[in-house]
């Protein structure tokens, strides 16, 4: 009889189920050793009609748990069966707060699977369930980020609308930003920074901010975009500004971005700005130096894996194992590639050296020097990229590519040259205003004495 009941539940056919209930009216009331009731099965598979029939005869089954401590609401929520969820909630809405063997509620499971409609329905029934943590210490928002459930994250943030909610931490102190950076969830990171009052410089249990986590994590293509978003939001490293000695309220007030303020900075704020600018330049220079180093030791095309048996006119092998393939097959392009990449690498190291030496960034001339070196770095990276692309592009695309490359190079040079010219003119004007009188006295000393005599008369 039990076997037939489970088969009927699996098929979702109402007729066999009704036939069994007529044969044994108490079949749904008997205790089942495994804990997996027929309602668990039909709720998991989404059989709406059978669910209605079972609930009408024994509504208490809505609060039963299987061997994983999961109720029918857990299973239907995880699968996204909205109609089943709507049938179960009016009977026993308190199951929304029930935790399975992993400490997860139906809201946790629906959020992890990005079941938006089900999640919305569960939140309306028991909104307090959003604050429950699972056994690992994850909040529902942490689970959204770990499982890449972006729509669920947005729904929960807008539904709860509480600053404390978005700043809840994992047991090891990791905030939502820490987890987003670890998982390289760029889109979620931008949403949290732009649409919530998340604390940008919150520290985890190890004393690291989200920026610290990024700089210590394995390199990824999204790192530059993540770094840009964090720095624009005022992110700092834990060693900058003694964050570890500040309270959460102080960190919060410093981390929230204040937009629309055009007033002059007081000396303290100016010093903070200069410190942030120095840190930003150090991070960018370190990343560009790392990129140039990696490309230098492992250029496009890779290395020869064997030594050629064919000899050139000097009696040497045409290529040897461990040497760059690009240097053998494209010697001219390789020379240009090497020069461009080396210039970018040395320029990046120069920025790092100048910053370490304590260059005063509040001085306009030194800022111009750093800007000019950074211009060289960026241009070198662009040329390195263009040389690589033009060298390893198939011949049938070469003509079109050459036009694109020429236009890109000329446009880039024009833009960078104009930018450098404008900043140079601004520097010269500033210096002339500051030292103009001194220069005049050196060039026209007699005229200066004449003017002083006339003034005395």
pLDDT per residue over 206-251, tens digit each? 889 999 899 888 888 888 899 999 998 888 888 765 544 443 444 3
Q: Does the pLDDT value for residue 449 go beyond 60?
A: no
The pLDDT value recorded for residue 217 is: 84
Per-residue burial over 394-428, b if 16 or more Cβ lie within 10 Å, else e, is eeeeeeeeeeebeeeeeeeeeeeeeeeeebeeebe
The pLDDT value recorded for residue 278 is: 72
Domain range list for the chain: 288-305+318-456
The pLDDT value recorded for residue 455 is: 45
* Tokens at 418, concatenated: 């104009």
pTM, entire model: 0.51
pLDDT in tens, 19-78: 666 665 556 665 565 667 888 888 888 888 888 888 888 888 898 898 889 999 999 999
Minimum mean pLDDT range among 9-23, 29-43, 372-386, 432-446: 432-446
- The string of DSSP codes covering 333-397 is HHHHHHHHHHHHHHHHHHHHHHHHTT--TTSHHHHHHHHHHHHHHHHHHHHHHHHHHHHSS-GGG
Question: Cα–Cα distance between 30 and 61 in angstroms, integer?
Answer: 11
Average pLDDT over residues 145-152: 93
Q: What does DSSP assign to residue 129?
A: G
pLDDT in tens, 240-264: 655 444 434 443 444 443 333 333 4
Q: 366: closest CA among 351, 346, 347, 344?
A: 351
The pLDDT value recorded for residue 120 is: 94
Question: Cα–Cα distance between 191 and 401 in angstroms, integer?
Answer: 37
pLDDT in tens, 385-414: 777 777 776 665 555 666 676 677 678 777
Mean pLDDT of all residues belonging to the chain? 77
């Amino acid at each position: 009889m039990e076997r037939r009941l489970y088969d009927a539940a699996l098929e979702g056919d109402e007729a066999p189920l009704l036939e069994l209930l007529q044969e044994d009216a108490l079949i749904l009331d008997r205790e089942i050793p495994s804990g997996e009731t027929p309602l668990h099965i039909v709720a998991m598979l989404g059989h709406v009609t059978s669910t209605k029939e079972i609930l009408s005869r024994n509504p208490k089954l809505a609060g039963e748990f299987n061997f994983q401590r999961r109720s029918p609401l857990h299973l239907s929520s995880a699968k996204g069966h909205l109609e089943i969820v709507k049938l179960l909630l009016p009977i026993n809405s308190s199951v929304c707060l029930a935790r399975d063997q992993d400490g997860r509620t139906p809201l946790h499971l629906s959020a992890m699977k990005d079941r938006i409609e089900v999640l919305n329905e569960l939140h309306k029934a028991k909104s307090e369930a959003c604050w429950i943590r699972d056994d690992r210490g994850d909040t529902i928002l942490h689970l959204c980020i770990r499982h890449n459930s972006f729509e669920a994250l947005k729904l929960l943030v807008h539904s709860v609308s509480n600053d404390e909610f978005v700043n809840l931490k994992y047991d090891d102190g990791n905030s939502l930003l820490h987890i987003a950076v670890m998982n390289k969830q760029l889109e979620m990171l931008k949403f949290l920074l732009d649409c919530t009052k998340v604390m940008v410089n919150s520290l985890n249990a190890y004393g690291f901010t989200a920026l610290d986590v990024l700089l210590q994590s394995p390199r990824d293509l999204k790192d530059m975009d993540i770094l840009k978003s964090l720095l624009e939001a005022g992110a700092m490293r834990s060693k900058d500004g003694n964050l570890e000695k500040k309270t959460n309220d102080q960190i919060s007030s410093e981390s929230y971005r204040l937009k629309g303020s055009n007033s002059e900075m007081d000396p303290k704020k100016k010093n903070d700005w200069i410190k942030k600018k120095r840190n930003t330049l150090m991070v960018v220079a370190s990343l560009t130096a790392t990129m140039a180093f990696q490309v230098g030791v492992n250029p496009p095309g890779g290395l020869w894996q064997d030594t050629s048996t064919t000899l050139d006119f000097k009696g040497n092998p045409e290529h040897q194992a461990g040497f760059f393939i690009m240097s053998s097959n494209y010697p001219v392009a390789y020379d240009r590639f090497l020069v461009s990449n080396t210039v970018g690498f040395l320029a990046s190291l120069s920025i790092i050296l100048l910053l370490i030496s304590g260059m005063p960034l509040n001085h306009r001339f030194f800022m111009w020097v750093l800007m000019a070196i950074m211009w060289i770095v960026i241009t070198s990276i662009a040329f390195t990229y263009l040389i690589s692309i033009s060298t390893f592009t198939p011949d049938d695309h070469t003509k079109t590519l050459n036009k694109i490359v020429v236009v890109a190079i000329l446009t880039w040079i024009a833009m960078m040259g104009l930018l450098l010219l404008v900043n140079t003119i601004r520097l010269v004007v500033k210096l002339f205003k500051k030292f103009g009188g001194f220069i005049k006295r050196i060039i026209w000393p007699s005229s200066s004495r004449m003017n002083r005599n006339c003034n005395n008369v």
